[in-house]
Amino acid sequence: MPRYIARKVVSWFLMIVVATKVDATTDRTKLEELQKFCAKRSLEFHAISAATGEGVRELVREIADALDKIPKPEPEVEVEQAHIDPAQDDFQTPA
């Protein structure tokens, strides 16, 4: 007998903008422009450097917090195939 699974689709996402290699430049003009761009759009922004460790801890914490906020999925619900007979006005499941 065929089985159908009903799933609830959840549209949830979070965007985090990350500027990397911030240790590689002394001119932070572009970085500041990107930070303002993200602030205007309510986007999370982090500037990091893997070489120096700058901003990495804060980014990891932000990602962990974001993961904690993801809605938990609801349990799957199994739905049996059914046939509606308009003449009898009732549901019938296949034998």
pLDDT tens string 37-63: 999 999 999 999 999 999 999 999 999
Q: Give the C-alpha separation, 93 to 89, whole Å.
A: 13
More confident residue, 36 or 70: 36
More confident residue, 6 or 44: 44
Percent of the chain, pLDDT > 70? 67
Residue 80 banded pLDDT, cuts 50, 70, 90: low
Ramachandran angles phi, psi of 82, nearest 5°: -135, 155
The pair of structure tokens assigned to 94 is 């296949």
What does the mean pLDDT of the chain come to? 79
Q: What is the pLDDT of residue 87?
A: 65
Task: Spell out the domain ranges in the chain.
Answer: 3-92
